[in-house]
Amino acid sequence: MTVLVVAEHDHRHLADVTRRTVSAALALGDAVDVLVAGQDCQAVGEAAAALEGVSRVLLCDDPTYAHQLAEPLAELVISLASDYSAVLAAATTQGKDFMPRVAARLDVAQVSDITGIEGPTTFERPIYAGNVMARVICEDPIRVITVRPTAFDPVGEGGSASIETVPAAQDPGLSRFVEESLTESERPELGAARVVVSGGRGVGSAEGFQLLESLADELNAAIGASRAAVDAGFVPNDYQVGQTGKVVAPELYIAVGISGAIQHWAGMKDSKVVVAINRDEEAPMVQMADYALVGDLFEVLPALRDGLRALKS
Amino acid sequence: MKVLVPVKRVVDYTVRVRPRSDGSGVDIANLKMSMNPFDEIAMEEAVRLREAGVATEVVAVSIGPAAAQDTLRTALAFGADRALLLETEESLAPVVISRALAAVVGEESPDLVLMGKQAIDDDCNQTAQMLAARVGWGQGTFACRLEMGDGEVIVTREVDGGTRTVALGLPAVVSTDLRLNEPRYLKLPNIMKAKKKPLDRRPLDSLGVDTRSGIRMVSVAEPPARKPGVRVADVGELLDKLKNEAQVI
């Protein structure tokens, strides 16, 4: 049977996490359909149809899905689910919001945040803030799965799936969109960046983060933060990396003034190379990093930035 | 308005757990247990609604072993009016817990269910959404701000990229994120008073819900270990290592 992937998008662009979710769906071994539900989202449907390995795109272009509210989106997925052996979405705040609703209405379990696929019914997922990896078997007739995007490589392009229109499902009318406040950033998206420069309480202030910014400029890096830095108001909350924030797995993660609590480590431990810059040589991050530099970040960061500039020229 | 707050007893967040050597599970015997931190935030918010005169009754409920009474006493010390423990020795998947909570909602008819966004042991982040789906209510997940409107609750949610605000008709289910509030420090007199508050214990079976599910954990393992790191002396050495050894810049 076929697997359904629910696409994530802003009605104009297909999110990178969906390319990664399709890659996980292909690993299940069946044909893959992608559902694109939104308003004026034709371009997203075309982008999904171009993904390698996708058989069909189901396009539902309707004002009901203008704000991607969980209740109507879940209704639509439920109306389609019986044709599929599995339904997948990325384990983003959106996927985490509507997918358990789908699972409960189908009265099946959900497998959250999978990081590995051993077979059509056997999955690997982290528990206890990533301190333990669990192997779970799900034998429900329809498997509802959210996928940790950083654990799967994105699929390429070159596919030519057919695009079919599907009707909107009844809106249950349980919730209403009021407003949204998005953090503006010209940097690469945190979850997809090749390099992440992340700051913690040790950075000291919002001004201190400007030092991280200038280093990130040299590396074309995204900026991340620990919960302590977010709670102190140095940066907005969507910068947070960790168990309760975003999970990242860049090639290079530079942790500046971050002690390295397990909740933070859970969000970045799969980074290829971890660098710790910290004054405290006893900090767990210093112990765990691939390269640790013990020193005052206010001296180290400008020197590092200048060094990178010199390397480039 | 009546508020129902489901709470879970979990290994304390400060404790580092390890898999059993045979991989059969995580050994949690003799570890410090506490109320799931996100549930403390839900409890705090419910009690604040009570103190503001919005909520008239706060009921805490837990599904778990007899020892989960301690967790419910903590909820009562926060300021819950009464507590209900549905006893079971089994560790149940969220799909089953949501069936049981839907039955509790049927008995209690709350106007609002406030609960943590995820438990820090299984990290599932499912139960609130599943409960909302089963009872046919709206959901406000990952709440960082909650306001009562006219017959509705206005929830600001933490999402990737910023925040979104939704209005939900009542009754509704709201799940709490870390920034919603700072749970209070429990004072001794309140802990003493909590001992006298009603705590009803019943077997989970009394709800008559199906406790089977299609999911099971077959084994656990340590995450792959990283190779030991090195200490570099200065910025020059760091740049050299990143360029020539790790080849990431």
Q: Does B157 touch chain A (CB under 8 A)?
A: yes
Secondary element (H or E) of residue B1: none
Domain shared by A231 and A146, yes or no = no
Domain shared by A27 and A116, yes or no = yes
Q: How many domains does chain B have?
A: 1
pLDDT, tens digit, 9 for 90 and up, residues A15-42? 999 999 999 999 997 899 999 999 999 9
Q: What is the CATH number of the domain that holds A27?
A: 3.40.50.620
- Whether A204 maps to a domain, the answer reads yes
Residue A312's pLDDT is what? 86
Query: Are A130 and B223 an interchain contact pair (Cβ–Cβ within 8 Å)?
Result: yes
Residue A41's pLDDT is what? 98
Task: Tell me which residue range forms the domain holding A213.
Answer: 190-312
- Whether A41 maps to a domain, the answer reads yes
- Whether B249 maps to a domain, the answer reads no
Domain termination residue (choose one: A165, A200, A226) = A165
Q: Where are the alpha helices (DSSP H) in B57-126?
A: 68-78, 94-108
The torsion of the CA quartet A250, A256, A258, A264, rounded to 10 degrees, works out to -10
Q: What is the CATH number of the domain that holds A247?
A: 3.40.50.1220
Interior angle at CA B146, CA B145 and CA B148, nearest 5: 155
Residue type, B153: V
Distance CA A270, CA B10 (A): 25
Domain shared by A127 and A226, yes or no = no
Q: Is A203 helix (H, G, I), strand (E, B) or coil?
A: helix
Whether pLDDT at B145 is above 90: yes
Q: Does B28 touch chain A (CB under 8 A)?
A: no
Domain shared by A158 and A9, yes or no = yes
Tokens standing for residue B21: 């050597």
Can you say how many angstroms the Cα of residue A45 is from the centroid of all Cα atoms in its chain?
Answer: 20
pLDDT averaged over every residue in chain B? 96
Q: Specify the length of chain A in residues.
A: 313
DSSP A142: S
Domain termination residue (choose one: A109, A132, A165) = A165
- Whether A243 maps to a domain, the answer reads yes
Interface test with B, best of A108, A145, A174 (most B CBs within 10 A): A174
- Whether B236 maps to a domain, the answer reads yes
Q: Which residues contact A290 (CB under 8 A, 6 or more apart)?
A: A273, A274, A275, B226, B227, B229, B230, B246
- Whether A182 maps to a domain, the answer reads no
Query: Are B18 and A291 an interchain contact pair (Cβ–Cβ within 8 Å)?
Result: no
Domain shared by A292 and A199, yes or no = yes
**Assembly ipTM:** 0.95
Q: How many domains does chain A have?
A: 2
Domain shared by A161 and A223, yes or no = no
| CB contact at 8 A, A286 and A294 | yes
- Tally the C-alpha atoms within 13 A of residue B194's C-alpha that lie toward its C-beta: 21
A242 has binding-site annotation = yes
- Whether B33 maps to a domain, the answer reads yes
Residue A192's pLDDT is what? 87
- Whether A174 maps to a domain, the answer reads no
- Whether A184 maps to a domain, the answer reads no
Mean pLDDT of A228-243: 95
Task: Tell me which residue range forms the domain holding B169.
Answer: 2-244
- Whether A170 maps to a domain, the answer reads no
- Whether B183 maps to a domain, the answer reads yes
Query: Are A127 and B123 an interchain contact pair (Cβ–Cβ within 8 Å)?
Result: yes
**pTM greater than 0.90 (yes/no):** yes
DSSP A52: T
Residue A6's pLDDT is what? 98
Domain shared by A124 and A70, yes or no = yes
- Whether A11 maps to a domain, the answer reads yes
Q: What is the CATH number of the domain that holds B137?
A: 3.40.50.620
Tokens standing for residue A282: 């006893």
Residue B34's pLDDT is what? 98
Residue A221's pLDDT is what? 97
